[in-house]
């Protein structure tokens, strides 16, 4: 099973956990200082902000440090990869870096930047191929948003407590499958097998953390692959600019099988050095300027 198929479960957890808060709270579980109208206003604002933040990942580059482990509980990773992740219109270009998040080979790094510039140049054009590629991206986003909307009725949630994180105060909620929910597709059926917790920064109306687990085995691609019960996903999110909350850390612990072979994904990803690079036309200008500066430095005696 491709990694993208495995991690769709994690994406569902992160997106759906937030939307779960749209479901009715059990009697007696409401925040003691929040009315029903205030609660729903908070949830609606947070859902809107989450969708906006997801879209902003298309215009922010970042550094990603990916640590792979053999098992979930292992303290030391078996592999560490560091990338400069740059949105390139219809995808994200990941340029390898050294452990210190700097290029290990300047010539190789320049070649990667040149390839990125070509990708951005292509993405900035308006031909038929570009329109087709962007339509596929738009379709995936619509499907994700539709699933979030479906998740409003897939869960019930309970306010647990207010918890501090630094100088911020987060509201913690427990999310559980709604026994009355009836899935309308194979994708939405996954929602019946996820539970966990989410934390919302009420002052900003932003999802600050989500921590969820699969409560039953989940089949993917028909019955060709399966993610086992107990697979886990968590993510931390912080403000990286006014009104922009993006991931700082994600952890995936998924075990399962593909056909008759076992498989596992145990990864921790740290995100840092966010920078707004803009859509392809803007990003292309920045990358070309970076290449010109590097060429000028090489020419200096």
Looking at residue 5, its pLDDT comes to: 41
Span 53-101, pLDDT tens digits: 988 999 999 999 999 999 988 999 999 999 999 999 999 999 999 999 9
How far apart CA 118 and CA 28 sit, in angstroms, is 58
**In the structure, what pLDDT confidence band is assigned to residue 31 with cuts at 50, 70 and 90?**
low
Q: Is the pLDDT of residue 51 over 90?
A: no
Q: Are 64 and 85 a contacting pair, CB within 8 Å?
A: yes
Reported pTM: 0.86
DSSP codes joined into one string, 13-64: HHHHHHHGGGSPPPTT-S-TT--HHHHHHHHHHHHHHHHHHHHHTTSEEEEE
Which residue would you say has higher pLDDT here, 9 or 184? 184
Residue 78: φ, ψ to 5°: -90, -15
Tens-place pLDDT, residues 207-241:
999 999 999 998 876 667 888 999 999 999 999 99
Average pLDDT over residues 261-281: 95
* pLDDT tens-digit readout, 134-175: 999 998 888 777 777 766 677 777 888 999 999 999 999 888
Q: What is the pLDDT of residue 297?
A: 66
Domain boundaries, the chain: 3-299
Residues of the chain with pLDDT > 90: what percent? 53
Q: Kindly state the DSSP code that residue 70 receives in the 8-state scheme.
A: S
Could you tell me where the beta strands, DSSP code E, fall in 135-243?
Answer: 155-165, 168-177, 194-201, 206-214, 218-220, 225-227, 232-241
Determine the pLDDT at residue 267: 95
């Amino acid at each position: 099973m491709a990694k993208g198929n495995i991690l769709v479960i994690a994406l569902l957890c992160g997106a759906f956990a937030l939307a779960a808060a749209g479901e009715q709270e059990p009697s007696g579980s409401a925040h003691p200082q929040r009315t029903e109208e205030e609660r729903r206003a908070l949830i609606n604002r947070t859902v809107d902000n989450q969708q906006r933040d997801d879209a902003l990942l298309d215009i922010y580059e970042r550094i990603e440090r990916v640590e792979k482990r053999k098992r979930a509980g292992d303290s030391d990773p078996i592999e560490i990869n560091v990338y400069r992740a740059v949105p390139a219109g219809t995808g994200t270009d990941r340029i390898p870096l050294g452990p210190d998040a700097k290029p290990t080979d300047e010539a190789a790094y320049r070649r990667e930047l040149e390839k990125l510039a070509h990708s951005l140049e292509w993405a900035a054009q308006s031909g038929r191929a570009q329109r087709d590629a962007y339509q596929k991206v738009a379709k995936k986003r619509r499907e994700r948003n539709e699933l979030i909307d479906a998740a409003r009725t897939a869960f019930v949630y309970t306010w647990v407590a207010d918890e501090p994180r630094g100088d911020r105060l987060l509201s913690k909620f427990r999310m559980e499958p709604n026994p009355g929910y009836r899935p309308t597709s194979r994708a939405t059926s996954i929602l019946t097998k996820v539970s966990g917790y989410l934390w919302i920064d009420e002052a900003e109306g932003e999802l600050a953390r989500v921590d969820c687990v699969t409560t039953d085995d989940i089949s993917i691609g028909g019955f060709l692959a399966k993610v086992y019960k107990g697979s886990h996903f968590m993510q931390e999110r912080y403000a990286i600019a006014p009104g922009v909350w993006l991931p700082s850390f994600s952890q995936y612990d998924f075990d399962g099988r593909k056909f008759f072979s076992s498989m596992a994904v145990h990864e921790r990803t740290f995100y840092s050095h966010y920078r707004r690079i803009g859509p392809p036309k803007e990003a292309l200008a920045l990358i070309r300027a970076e290449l010109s500066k590097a060429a000028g430095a090489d020419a200096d005696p």
